[in-house]
Amino acid sequence: MSEDLFGNPVGDGIAGSGSPAAGGSLSDALNPSAPLAVRMRPRTIDEIVGQQHLLGPGSPLRRLAEGSAAMSVFLWGPPGVGKTTIASVISHASNRRFVELSAVTAGVKDVRRELETARRELAMGRPTVLFVDEVHRFNKAQQDVLLPAVENRIVTLVAATTENPSFSVISPLLSRSLLLTLKPLTSEDISTLVDRALEDPRGLHTPDDGHYQLTDQGRADLLQMAGGDARRVLTYLEEAAAGATASGTDTITPQIVATAVDRAAVRYDKDGDQHYDVISAFIKSVRGSDADAALHWLARMIEAGEDARFIARRLIVLASEDIGMAAPSVLQTCVAAAQAVQLIGMPEARINLAHATIAAATAPKSNAVILGIDAALADVRAGKGGEVPLHLRDAHYSSASDLGHGIGYKYAHDFPHGVAAQQYLPDSLAGARYYRPTDHGNEEKIGQRWAQLRHLLGREPD
């Protein structure tokens, strides 16, 4: 169904059960033909790279991995920083069943079935660790099913998400768990992983392939394109190694890297917290009059597949909120860009969005419009309304004059300058002042005219 400018089926499959070997994302680490990123997963907590703020002695995560804690945890962080790796390490802890579910494929029936099995196993003295990957894809009903099991510790839940749990996880479930925020990996962390993959027999240092050499510039290119994502850099490295072998060399050069990696994907989750962070950076850059920064954030959103209508709507709001009468034509430009998005579509409409972005960023700024309407709304909500003055009331029906409606009203066009001095506000707000023009751009002239109008209206000067 199409939408105008202003306007997840869940499968029944289970991703893994009973152990990581059941087919989930942790199941193929021992398979020599598995992707390099899977084969190189750390086997112990001490092999984990990065996240040192979570891995100190006695930390909840370390105790969970060592099997001495039963607290459920949410692992929140960008892709490729170790969420699934941590779950993999936990899966090797002794005396516990490990069950893996993917929120992409598991339905309510699957969750209920696993929780019931966990209940029976617990009665026999065998606790269960339930790993839910991409938990943000579970809807409210699925999360509600997990709640009693977590609250009563039928299972120890380890849930991984790339989205801010504050937006994607129900509060009761989050409040009964420990939220651990994983940090992006540094270039040093990623470089360590590259070295490990080049030297480890599980990785690229095999009897068949020998030992690959990575040039300094090839390494620098890989690290830049990885963007802090361990999975991504290992995928790129594996493809580059295959490219080197195909070229009859064991040296991975920048040219081989460039051939193996078409381009680095932009890290951006248009349904999660990065959606809010990037649009916030975009708006604040435009408001701050930095057209270059605004174009960068616009490009990030476009490249990531953000809904162009969403960007257009935000520009329309910004045109009145942050520019207003200082450059009133910017609103027309932003509305036109939004119409172009509707009529032309992407990718061509990227030009129109850039046009509106530059116009808004370089325009003089004023927030007098939003301050004015919000001040007026505050008075109305505080009960400072009052009756409509009699002379302003509708006088277009037969008995209106008997009620005094319209009597004494002054028709503006009968007076010099088209301005009739009379009370337009309710009695209780006769002296209210809402619109206060700035001296920015066109609003400076408007401010001068507004001062003249207030004088003609008999209003008190500033």
At the fourth CATH level, the homologous superfamily of domain 368-456 is DNA polymerase III clamp loader subunits, C-terminal domain (1.10.3710.10)
Domain ranges of the chain: 20-181, 187-260, 279-362, 368-456
265-278 as b/e: b if 16+ CB within 10 A: eebbbeebbbbeeb
Give the C-alpha distances (Å, rounded to integers) separating 391 from 158, 295, 403, 405, 408.
Answer: 69, 52, 11, 6, 6
- What does pTM read for this prediction? 0.54
What pLDDT is attached to residue 260?
75
Domain 20-181: top CATH class: alpha beta
Pairing of strands 178-181, 97-102: unpaired
- Count of alpha carbons within 13 angstroms of residue 171, beta-carbon side: 0
- 321-361 residue pLDDT tens: 999 999 999 999 999 999 999 888 888 899 999 999 999 99
- Whether 78 contacts 162, CB under 8 Å: yes
**Residue 248 backbone zone (phi > 0: left; psi -120 to 50: alpha; other: beta):** left
Give the pLDDT score at 17.
Answer: 39
Q: What is the CATH number of domain 279-362?
A: 1.20.272.10
The class that CATH gives domain 187-260 is mainly alpha
State yes or no: pLDDT of 12 exceeds 60: no
Condensed to tens digits (0 to 9), the pLDDT of residues 27-62 reads 555 566 678 888 888 877 778 887 777 777 778 778
pLDDT attached to residue 323: 95
Q: For 160-181, how does the pLDDT look when each residue is reduced to its tens digit (9 = 90+)?
A: 888 888 878 888 888 888 888 8
Tokens 């061509």 belong to residue: 348
Q: If pLDDT is split at 50, 70 and 90, which confidence band does 289 have?
A: very high
pLDDT band at 275 (very low <50, low <70, confident <90, very high): low
**Helical pair 273-287 and 308-318, crossing angle rounded to 10 deg:** 40
Burial class of residue 159, CB neighbours in 10 A (0-12, 13-18, 19+) = buried
CA distance 299 to 315: 15
Q: Which two tokens stand for residue 279?
A: 């649009």
Residue 64's contacts (CB-CB under 8 Å, 6 or more residues apart) are 71, 73, 90, 93, 156, 158
Could you read off the pLDDT of 358-405 as tens digits, one per residue?
999 999 999 999 999 998 888 888 888 777 787 767 777 767 676 778
Same fold, 20-181 and 279-362: no
User: How much is the pLDDT for 210?
Assistant: 62
